[in-house]
């Protein structure tokens, strides 16, 4: 599984010159800034700086781009925790407990937990990638559209359980989101729900919709507050408390490891990746926790689960990119462009012929983890100062950033208009107890769910028995059912067993 000769070559390649390393620190800082700025995306940062890689050799270009990726994976969690704005879709679940922690004045700890979970996630992810890159690539090849649809369905249905007291409303929100996600042209060239506007032909822009629903709608609700954290004493930025967060993260090693495993394997599924993995990891952690009701109210395990999964997804998506030449998402799509710019094609042939380069990229990421840790510790106090800003300054500033960022994403006014429309929808949904995260996940996965279901239909010719021939589909379906009804089934079985074993009493 591990080619030791290639490993030695990779190490000598990395240690032969300091030049490739010079661009790692700027890369991580760029990733942190873009990830932490609402509206700017990691993929946007990579695309903007892609032309610079023309002046680098392939190895250096990869180090630079993966450094941006690594920095961004933690950076996107910062606004999720401090402002309830997930920097990217991969940090959605980070906001669930990170933001409530910040509002309780536990922002230092929350940021510390996020940093350690991210660092640990990247480390474990690349370690798994180093050991299993070939088996993972083979496994991904076996995944067809029916398996991908099941993964999407798994992520979607689990969302309903996020708000236990309003399951029906959670399901309605998620399914309506799913319908909104299918607006526009579908795979067979039919346009639905566009109202004749060509701006909607490509569908609803997901990230601006997410910004509106998560950020703007929440900011409306905070309009009468003076600060994010009302208590004056709790607004301090304290390195010692950040360090406490490190300890808190390691206090849940199983949550972290589970997040890493979910992250690397779900992250390897093209198109699904970190957007689903952080949710899956969060929901699984909540489901298995003895106190599931504490989630969504500031449980540190929620941040550990989400951040460890989304950071590990980087390694998962790199596995697909390196082994198959398929990008798992926006960021790896930019990397694929860098491959092309250097006349390199990813795939099994690339792994066999250039194993030393592949290993060098993996080893370089181990080193990047330490840079991220140091830079994260240095930059957190600076970034955490955001909670000291009075709300009357913070609200318009963040709304403006969301508007500019959404314009940047779409290149026209569809972005800002989408932010506005979904801000109002999000505010109404929050007001009447509908799950905003469920709706966002639905919008995010709608088009993908329809595409994968359609492909499954085309392959099977509409014959449902096709599913029975797909063991992985059945396995994911079983996992889905266990996740949804496992607890209830166990309770029922226990009750039945107890009834059988206990002696019958006669009145």
Partner 1 sequence: MNISQKDLGHLGMLLGLAGFTLWYLSDAISVSTSVPNLLLILPVATAVLILCLAEFLTSLWRRELFAAVDDEPVREILPIILLFSAYVLTLPWLGFDLGTVLFVAIFLRMKRENNWWMVIGYSLIFGLTVALFFAFMLPYPMPMTFLPID
Beta bridge partners of 184: 192
Nearer to partner 1, 142 or 221 (CB): 221
Q: How many residues does the chain have?
A: 507
Query: What is the H or E stretch that residue 445 is in?
Result: helix 436-460
Nearer to partner 1, 16 or 224 (CB): 224
Nearer to partner 1, 48 or 336 (CB): 48
Sign, Cα dihedral of 175, 176, 181, 182: positive
Q: Could you give the count of Cα atoms lying within 13 Å of 46 in the half-sphere of its Cβ?
A: 27
Give least dist CB 94 to partner 1, A. 23
Q: Which alpha helices (DSSP H) does 385-412 contain, by range?
A: 391-410
Beta bridge partners of 191: 185
Nearer to partner 1, 453 or 467 (CB): 453
**Tokens representing 211?**
């910004």
**Tokens representing 358?**
């592949």
Give least dist CB 265 to partner 1, A. 25
**Tokens representing 394?**
């913070």
Nearer to partner 1, 400 or 490 (CB): 400
**Tokens representing 381?**
């106090």
Give least dist CB 283 to partner 1, A. 20
**Tokens representing 395?**
């609200």
Give least dist CB 67 to partner 1, A. 19
Give least dist CB 74 to partner 1, A. 21
Nearer to partner 1, 7 or 186 (CB): 186
Give least dist CB 385 to partner 1, A. 16
Which of helix, strand or coil describes residue 191? strand
Give least dist CB 41 to partner 1, A. 12
Nearer to partner 1, 178 or 303 (CB): 178
- Across the chain, how many H-helices and E-strands are there? 22, 2
Classify residue 18 by its DSSP letter: S
Distance of CA 1 to the CA centre of its chain: 28
Nearer to partner 1, 79 or 300 (CB): 79
**Tokens representing 344?**
């390199």
Give least dist CB 402 to partner 1, A. 10
CA 148 → CA 189, 211, 365, 456, distances in Å? 22, 26, 28, 10
Which of helix, strand or coil describes residue 462? coil
Binding site for partner 1 (CB under 8 A): 48, 166, 168-169, 171-172, 175-176, 178-179, 182-183, 186-188, 190-193, 216, 220-221, 223-224, 391-393, 395-397, 399-401, 403-404, 407-408, 411, 413, 416-417, 419-420, 423-424, 427-434, 449-450, 453-454, 457-458, 462
């Amino acid at each position: 599984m591990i080619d030791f000769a290639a490993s030695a070559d990779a190490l000598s390649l990395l240690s032969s010159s300091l030049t490739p390393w010079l661009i790692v620190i700027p890369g991580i800082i760029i990733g942190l800034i873009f990830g932490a700025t609402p509206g700017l995306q990691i993929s946007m940062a990579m695309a903007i700086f892609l032309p610079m890689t023309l002046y680098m050799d392939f190895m250096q270009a990869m180090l630079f781009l993966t450094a941006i990726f690594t920095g961004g994976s933690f950076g996107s969690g910062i606004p999720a925790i401090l402002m309830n704005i997930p920097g990217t879709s991969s940090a959605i679940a980070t906001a669930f407990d990170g933001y409530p922690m910040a509002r309780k004045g536990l922002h230092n700890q929350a940021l510390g937990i996020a940093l350690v979970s991210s660092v640990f996630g990247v480390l474990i992810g690349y370690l798994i990638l180093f050991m299993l890159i070939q088996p993972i690539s083979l496994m991904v090849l076996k995944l067809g559209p029916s398996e991908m649809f099941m993964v999407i369905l798994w992520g979607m249905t689990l969302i309903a359980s996020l708000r236990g007291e309003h399951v029906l409303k959670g399901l309605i929100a998620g399914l309506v989101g799913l319908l909104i996600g299918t607006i526009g042209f579908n795979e067979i060239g039919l346009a639905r729900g566009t109202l004749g506007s060509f701006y909607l032909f490509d569908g609803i822009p997901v990230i601006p919709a997410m910004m509106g629903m998560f950020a703007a709608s929440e900011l409306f609700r905070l309009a009468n507050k003076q600060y994010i954290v009302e208590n004056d004493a709790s607004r301090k930025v304290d390195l010692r408390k950040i360090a406490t967060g490190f300890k808190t993260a390691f206090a849940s090693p199983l949550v972290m490891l589970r997040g890493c495993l979910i992250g690397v394997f779900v992250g390897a599924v093209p198109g699904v990746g970190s957007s689903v993995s952080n949710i899956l990891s969060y929901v699984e952690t909540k489901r298995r926790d003895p106190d599931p009701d504490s989630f969504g109210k500031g449980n540190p395990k929620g941040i550990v689960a989400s951040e460890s999964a989304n950071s590990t997804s980087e390694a998962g998506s790199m596995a697909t990119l390196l082994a198959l030449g398929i990008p798992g998402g926006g960021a790896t799509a930019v990397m694929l462009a860098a491959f092309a710019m250097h006349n390199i094609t990813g795939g099994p042939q690339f792994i066999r012929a250039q194993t030393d380069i592949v290993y060098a990229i993996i080893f370089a990421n181990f080193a990047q983890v330490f840079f991220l840790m140091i830079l994260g510790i240095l930059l957190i106090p600076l970034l955490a100062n955001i909670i000291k800003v009075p709300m009357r300054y913070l609200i318009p500033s963040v709304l403006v950033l969301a508007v500019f960022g959404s314009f940047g994403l779409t290149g026209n006014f569809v972005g800002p208009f989408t932010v506005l429309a979904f801000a109002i929808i999000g505010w109404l949904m929050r007001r009447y107890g509908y799950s905003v995260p469920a709706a966002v996940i639905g919008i995010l996965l709608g088009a993908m769910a329809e595409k994968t279901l359609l492909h499954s239909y085309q392959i099977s010719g509409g014959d449902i028995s096709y599913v029975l021939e797909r063991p992985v589909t059945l396995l994911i379906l079983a996992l889905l059912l266990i996740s949804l009804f496992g607890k209830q089934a166990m309770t029922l079985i226990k009750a039945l067993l107890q009834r059988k074993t206990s002696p019958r009493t006669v009145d």
